[in-house]
Amino acid sequence: MTLDWLIIGGGIHGVHLAIQLIRGAGIPADRLAIVDGHPRLLARWRACTANTGMTHLRSSLVHHLDPDPWALKRFGARNRRLGGFAPPYDRPALTLFDGHCDALIERYGLAGRHRVDRVEALALGEDGVRATLASGEAVSARFGLLALGASERTHWPAWALAARAAGAPIEHVFDPDVRLDAAQPGRLAVIGGGITAAQLANRFAGERQVHLITRHPLRQHQFDSDPGWVGPRHLEGFARVADPDARRRIITAARHRGSIPPGTRRRLARLCDRGGVTLHVAEVSDARPLDGGLRLTVGGQPLDVDRVLLATGFAGGRPGGALVDGLAADGLPCAACGFPIVDTHLRWHPRLFVSGPLAELEIGPAARNIVGARLAARRIVPWASHHRAG
């Protein structure tokens, strides 16, 4: 059977766009599939947020996976046991957000549309797409959607790679096999200067000696880009910029990478004042195994710890690995940065749409976030509704 839509990626973007296609474009649920190699939808989201010790999202209560912006607020009123909303901007508790996601996945029958597999290649034709799966199966659909995030490849500094190769106890908080045992004693070094690093330091302070090591002074921003990037205040001007290289420069300048919201920073400052966390604003230049732990060289000085957790984010560059590389090699247009050049409907090919990081040259700095999934739906769903039978 040829599906109407094949969604590649079962994270925030894939799930939200599946819901939007069913509810907003009138696509029957049994006419779409979500291919994702994890055992359940949103698996990477849940693992990454659990590891950081996040209690509330950074985004506001209207940024979630239901097409109705006020649905999470109503859900929260009916399910107070799952948590509430925190100031500023009524940010939802992670438990509440995740419970809402579970309810949406059940309501729209998305678990039954999930194929636990991996797309290894896509063949694009005039009438549709054909995906070759790692299992050897092939799936055909009238339209494909790449909803691939950047969370599959973590960023490791060169010194950390060398230390790990030498047997030092060093891990990345977002690696799939990392184990964070809160009861494990000892001295912990957290490497990074953004919200994840601060959340980890806050999580483990009091249970062990925590050293937070950041290359730059802490940067405070409520969001990871100005809120104007989710509406016309900035996006209208961005749309008038025709040069994709200029758009890339705008995106890079607009992102508050490695920043911490005020509330998280205040809690961290209190822990530093009380001695629960020691802050080092310096570079790590070396790390060597030492008596079951490791010795770091921080700002030229030795620091002995029992374990290192990297909170250094994800690898830069275009996500999607060999799959997206193959599409680019087949001639789909890319900017100098390697990211797709797409039309206003987010089509990279007449039969292939993109969301998430792959759409950021059209959506802007917020493309990777939850609100970026909502912005992508505004482009894709009206087109899909109009072309249901074509």
Question: In the block, which residue shows the tokens 């050293």?
Answer: 211
Residues 71 and 143 in one domain: yes
Query: 179 falls in which pLDDT band (50, 70, 90)?
Result: confident
The answer to whether 208 touches 186, Cβ cutoff 8 Å, is yes
| Residue 288 belongs to domain with CATH number | 3.50.50.60
**pLDDT over threshold 70, residue 3:** yes
Question: In the block, which residue shows the tokens 């008596």?
Answer: 291
Residues 13 and 93 in one domain: yes
Given its phi and psi angles, is residue 51 left (phi above 0), alpha (psi -120 to 50 degrees) or beta?
A: alpha
**pLDDT over threshold 60, residue 183:** no
The confidence score (pLDDT) of residue 389 equals 63
> What Cα–Cα distance (Å) separates residue 152 from each residue in 57, 292, 365, 370?
21, 29, 20, 17
Residue 295 forms beta bridges with which residues? 288, 304
In-domain check, residue 249 = no
In-domain check, residue 232 = no
Residues 162 and 266 in one domain: yes
Residues 27 and 109 in one domain: yes
Query: 261 falls in which pLDDT band (50, 70, 90)?
Result: very high
Domain end among 310, 325, 356:
310
**pLDDT over threshold 90, residue 182:** no
Three-class SS of residue 71?
helix
- DSSP type of residue 183: T
Query: 1 falls in which pLDDT band (50, 70, 90)?
Result: confident
Tens-digit pLDDT profile for residues 129-173: 999 999 999 999 999 999 999 888 899 999 999 999 999 999 999
In-domain check, residue 242 = no
In-domain check, residue 139 = yes
CA distance 360 to 348: 12
In-domain check, residue 237 = no
In-domain check, residue 281 = yes
Residues 305 and 328 in one domain: no
In-domain check, residue 229 = no
| Lowest-confidence segment of 126-135, 297-306, 380-389 by average pLDDT | 380-389
The confidence score (pLDDT) of residue 390 equals 57
What secondary structure, in 3-state letters, does the chain show? CCEEEEEECCCHHHHHHHHHHHHCCCCCHHHEEEEECCCCCCHHHHHHHHHHCCCECCCCCCCCCCCCCCHHHHHHHHCHHHCCEECCCCEEEHHHHHHHHHHHHHHCCCHHHEEECCEEEEEECCCCEEEEECCCCEEEEEEEEECCCCCCCECCCHHHHHHHHCCCCEEECCCCCCCCCCCCCCEEEEECCCHHHHHHHHHHECCEEEEEEECCCCEECCCCCCHHHHCHHHHHHHHCCCCHHHHHHHHHHHCCCCEECHHHHHHHHHHHHHCCEEEEECCEEEEEEECCEEEEEECCEEEEECEEEECCCECCCCCCHHHHHHHHHCCCCECCCCCECCCCCCEEECCEEECHHHHHHHHCCCCCCHHHHHHHHHHHHHHHHHCCCC
Quick one: 46 exposed, middle or buried, by C-beta within 10 A (0-12, 13-18, 19+)?
middle
Residues 76 and 115 in one domain: yes
Residues 114 and 133 in one domain: yes
The confidence score (pLDDT) of residue 300 equals 96
Residues 306 and 325 in one domain: no
Angle at 213 between CA 249 and CA 45, to 5 degrees: 60
Query: 242 falls in which pLDDT band (50, 70, 90)?
Result: very high
Nearest CA among 385, 63, 108 for reference residue 230: 63
Q: Please state the domain count of the chain.
A: 2
Query: 177 falls in which pLDDT band (50, 70, 90)?
Result: confident
Domain assignment of residue 302, given as a range = 158-221+256-310
Residues 173 and 57 in one domain: no
Domain end among 310, 341, 376:
310
The answer to whether 7 touches 14, Cβ cutoff 8 Å, is yes
Tens-digit pLDDT profile for residues 209-225: 999 999 999 999 999 99
Residues 193 and 73 in one domain: no
The confidence score (pLDDT) of residue 151 equals 86
The confidence score (pLDDT) of residue 67 equals 97
Domain end among 283, 310, 337:
310
Tens-digit pLDDT profile for residues 335-365: 999 999 999 999 999 999 999 999 999 999 9
* Phi, psi (deg, nearest 5) at residue 100: -65, -40
**pLDDT over threshold 90, residue 260:** yes
In-domain check, residue 116 = yes
Residues 194 and 216 in one domain: yes
Pairing mode, strands 301-305 and 293-298: antiparallel
Residues 78 and 123 in one domain: yes
Nearest CA among 186, 173, 155, 182 for reference residue 290: 186
The answer to whether 33 touches 7, Cβ cutoff 8 Å, is yes
**pLDDT over threshold 70, residue 180:** yes
Query: Which value, in Å, is the radius of gyration of the alpha carbons in the chain?
Result: 22
Q: Where are the beta strands (DSSP E) in 99-208?
A: 114-116, 119-124, 129-133, 138-146, 170-172, 187-191
**pLDDT over threshold 80, residue 181:** no
